[in-house]
Structure formats: structure tokens, C-alpha cells
């Protein structure tokens, strides 16, 4: 059966499932003002406050720029306002140019130039109103699910994640890939111990080599810092949930991408292809940063599995929360969209995967997720650490 949804066609051909005006600060220094402008304007305006953007070494700054541009280019964004204080290393013009290349209407606002925060608020809201009129010119049109880029993520994992929620989300990814869409999962540290399985599934030798190299690099971080990964992976919370080693966590984590061939691996925040099949993104293991990387890569919708109970959302992409832990479902169903804990009562993984896929289509059609209802909009950009700068990290 063909699945379609009503989406917003953008000038670059991609299709959004929401129609927001993004308010993107270039740095921490402009983040409070960006949030205030968006709050004042209304729920159609979404700010992406973050901690970076001032005095970063070049490779780290480039990564921040790539993410900010990617966020503005995400198809859920109809128009964008880039806000700077005016003293940052990253200029609002650079970010705005990167976004408007996609054909999207983009404006900038410099807080110092307009005379401080009060004027910035007034001027910002006025520019947002103009931008909203631009965004509203997008009409909803029928689009095929093959135009969806589906980011999948796990956080607050426990033993049920690898048994129920992740394979069920994987079954939904398989359906989407079969329909011609793109699914993407990430968190390279959580490939450690399962990379041989992923390597065997790579569509070509180049992808295979790149994948193994990225896993080596992430594992090498522990060596570089002379630390034992066991302190952080699995996390103390994962351990309470029954996960003993990183290998065990990884073997459960990789199932959320499904079972299809791995077509490629992109950098953190780099654009994900449409109609791309299963594509990995090389990200750290911190879930909020990892979600943001995939949204910057163009994911319109994210599925987020949690065993122990996470409440994470995103300002621009709906996040569908899935738990495989029946106790967590009972305790936190107001933050969770899909109960995969039913596999412990006999529902098949494939059947739960079907429910997740239907939820994906419904959410693409406008149904709001629990995180959207509650305006849970965590946003953080990964900062390349000084230790990482000494190794081969893409800039």
C-alpha cells in the first residue's frame, strides 16, 4: 500500500512535515535573545539556543557552522532569522548565505547594530512576522513517504531497548527503506563491539572502511585520554537497566536501524541524501547532540527509543518516543508515543514496527507527538574536544 502525507514543498525540492520560522543564534551570546524573540512571536517560531560559536578552534567552529546552516536548511523550516550579537567568530551573514542557498527566505539581525536587546526584540519580532508571511506561502501538497528522512536515536537505554524498542524501530526503518526513503542512525561509540556486523552490511568497500575507521577513532579517544570507557559506557543508568558492557549496549543499539544494507556514512550534521536507504551518521553518544546532528542533516522526523524513560524532543523535528519497557510505559506514557513493551506479552516485533511506521506517517501528516504537545525542545551542538582536534577529524 502506498503511503503519502501532506507536506510543505521547499524551493530545493525537499518536503517539510512542519512549517516553522527558525530563529538561529550564531552563538551562546545571542541565544537568550533568539529564544525571547521566538517566544514573543508565537509557537510557529522556533529558537535553537546553544552554547557554542565564540572563540572555537577552526575545525570546531566549522562544525558549528555546518550544523547551524543545516538546521536552517531542514525542510521543516519555511524561513529563517539568524541572530548574532555581532562579536562572534561566526557571522550571521555566513550562516544566512548557507541557508538561503537552498532558496529559503533568510534574514539576519545583529543585536549590537540595532541598539541592544530591547530593540532586538522589537525588530526581531517584526522581521519574524515578515518571514512568517513568506513561510505561509508554502502550500501543503501530497508527498510520498519515500521523501522522508527518518532519524533514529536511542537514549536512556536498558536491556529492553535491544530486545523490543530498537528492533521494532528497525522494522519501521526497513519499511521506509523498502518504500524508497532514508533512515539514519548514529552514535558511533555505540557501534563498538558490533562493528563487525555493521561492516558486513555495508553496500560497498569504501563505506565499510570508513565505518571501521570512525569506530577506531572513537574507541581511540579512550586510549588517547588513558581512560576506561567503562565509566561512561554503558552509563550508570544503563547499568541499572541491566546493560553490563559497551558490546552488549551496541549489539542492542544497532538493531534500531533495521536490517537493510548500509549505503553510506556521513559526518556530524552533514546533509543526508533523500531516497538514500540506510545511511549512518558519525556522531558522539550524547543523545541530544546526536538528534540535532541528524536534524541538521535534513531529518524531518526522529524516532527515539528509551528503556528507562527519556523526555527529549527537538525544536524543529517531531520526536516519536518509543519504549520497550512495560514499567516505563506505565509510569511515563504521557511522554511516550509508542509502547513496544507489548512484545513481552507476545506482540511480534514486526507488528510493533508496523505501528511505528503508521505513527511516522501520521506525524508526517501533522499529528503532534507527546514531546511536541509539551514543547520539549532540547537543542545542543556537539563541540569537538581539544583531544579530538589532534586526530583526523573532518572539519
Which residues of the chain form contacts with other proteins (CB under 8 A)? 158-160, 162-164, 167, 189, 192-194, 197, 219, 221-230, 233, 239, 241-242, 244-248, 251-252, 307, 325, 327, 343-344, 348-349
C-alpha cell at 157: 537505554
- Count of CA atoms in the C-beta half-sphere (13 A) of 197: 16
Contact 129, 41 (CB under 8 A): yes
The least CB distance from residue 139 to other proteins, in Å, is 44
Using the minimum distance from each CB to other proteins, give the nearer residue, 51 or 259.
259
The least CB distance from residue 233 to other proteins, in Å, is 7
The least CB distance from residue 235 to other proteins, in Å, is 12
Using the minimum distance from each CB to other proteins, give the nearer residue, 1 or 231.
231
Kindly report the CA angle at 272 between 270 and 274, in degrees rounded to 5? 155
What span, in angstroms and rounded, lies between the C-alpha atoms of 250 and 245?
9
C-alpha torsion angle, residues 191, 302, 34, 15 (rounded to 10): 120
Using the minimum distance from each CB to other proteins, give the nearer residue, 133 or 240.
240
The least CB distance from residue 134 to other proteins, in Å, is 48
The least CB distance from residue 382 to other proteins, in Å, is 19
Using the minimum distance from each CB to other proteins, give the nearer residue, 77 or 243.
243
331: number of Cβ within 10 Å: 13
What span, in angstroms and rounded, lies between the C-alpha atoms of 76 and 281?
20
Using the minimum distance from each CB to other proteins, give the nearer residue, 202 or 349.
349
Helix (H, G, I), strand (E, B) or coil at 151: strand
CA 237 to chain centroid, in Å, comes to: 22
What span, in angstroms and rounded, lies between the C-alpha atoms of 194 and 205?
18
Contact 267, 280 (CB under 8 A): no
What span, in angstroms and rounded, lies between the C-alpha atoms of 70 and 299?
10
Using the minimum distance from each CB to other proteins, give the nearer residue, 36 or 343.
343
Using the minimum distance from each CB to other proteins, give the nearer residue, 139 or 236.
236
C-alpha cell at 59: 575545525
Contact 226, 283 (CB under 8 A): no
The least CB distance from residue 387 to other proteins, in Å, is 11
Kindly report the CA angle at 252 between 248 and 256, in degrees rounded to 5? 160
The least CB distance from residue 111 to other proteins, in Å, is 43
The least CB distance from residue 88 to other proteins, in Å, is 35
Using the minimum distance from each CB to other proteins, give the nearer residue, 252 or 313.
252
Amino acid at each position: 500500500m502506498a503511503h503519502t502525507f501532506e507536506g510543505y514543498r521547499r524551493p530545493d525540492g525537499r518536503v517539510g512535515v512542519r512549517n516553522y520560522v527558525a530563529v538561529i543564534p550564531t552563538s551562546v551570546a545571542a541565544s537568550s535573545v533568539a529564544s525571547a524573540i521566538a517566544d514573543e512571536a508565537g509557537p510557529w517560531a522556533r529558537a535553537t539556543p546553544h552554547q557554542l560559536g565564540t572563540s572555537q578552534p577552526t575545525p570546531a567552529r566549522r562544525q558549528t557552522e555546518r550544523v547551524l546552516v543545516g538546521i536552517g536548511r531542514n525542510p521543516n523550516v519555511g524561513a529563517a532569522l539568524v541572530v548574532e550579537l555581532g562579536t562572534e567568530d561566526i557571522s550571521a551573514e555566513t550562516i544566512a548565505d548557507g541557508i538561503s542557498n537552498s532558496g529559503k527566505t533568510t534574514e539576519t539581525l545583529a543585536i549590537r547594530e540595532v541598539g541592544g536587546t530591547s530593540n532586538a526584540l522589537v525588530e526581531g519580532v517584526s522581521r519574524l512576522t515578515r518571514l512568517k508571511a513568506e513561510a505561509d506561502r508554502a502550500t501543503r501538497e501530497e508527498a510520498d513517504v519515500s521523501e522522508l528522512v527518518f532519524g533514529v536515536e536511542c537514549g536512556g537505554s536498558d536491556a529492553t531497548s535491544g530486545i523490543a524498542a530498537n528492533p521494532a524501530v528497525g522494522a519501521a526503518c526497513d519499511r521506509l527503506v523498502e518504500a524508497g526513503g532514508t533512515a539514519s542512525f548514529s552514535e558511533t561509540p555505540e557501534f563498538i563491539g558490533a562493528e563487525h556486523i555493521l561492516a558486513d552490511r555495508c553496500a560497498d568497500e569504501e563505506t565499510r572502511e570508513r565505518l571501521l575507521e570512525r569506530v577506531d577513532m572513537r574507541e581511540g579517544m579512550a586510549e588517547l585520554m588513558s581512560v576506561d570507557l567503562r565509566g561512561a559506557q554503558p552509563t550508570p543508568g544503563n547499568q541499572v537497566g541491566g546493560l553490563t558492557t559497551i558490546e552488549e549496549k551496541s549489539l542492542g543499539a544497532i538493531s534500531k536501524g533495521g536490517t537493510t544494507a548500509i549505503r553510506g556514512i556521513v559526518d556530524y550534521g552533514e546533509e543526508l541524501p533523500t531516497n538514500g536507504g540506510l545511511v549512518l551518521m558519525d556522531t558522539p553518544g550524547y543523545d541530544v547532540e546526536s538528534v540535532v546532528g541528524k536534524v541538521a542533516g535534513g531529518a524531518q522526523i526522529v524516532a527515539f527509543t528509551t528503556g528507562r524513560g527519556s523526555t527529549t524532543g527537538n525544536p524543529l523535528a517531531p520526536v516519536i518516543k518509543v519504549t520497550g519497557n512495560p514499567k516505563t510505559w506505565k509510569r511515563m506514557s504521557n511522554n511516550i508515543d509508542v509502547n513496544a513493551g507489548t512484545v513481552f506479552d507476545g506482540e511480534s516485533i514486526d507488528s510493533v514496527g508496523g505501528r511505528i511506521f503508521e505513527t511516522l506517517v501520521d506525524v508526517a501528516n501533522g499529528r503532534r507527538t507527546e514531546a511536541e504537545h509539551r514543547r520539549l525542545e532540547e537543542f545542543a551542538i556537539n563541540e569537538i574536544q581539544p583531544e579530538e582536534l589532534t586526530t583526523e577529524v573532518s572539519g
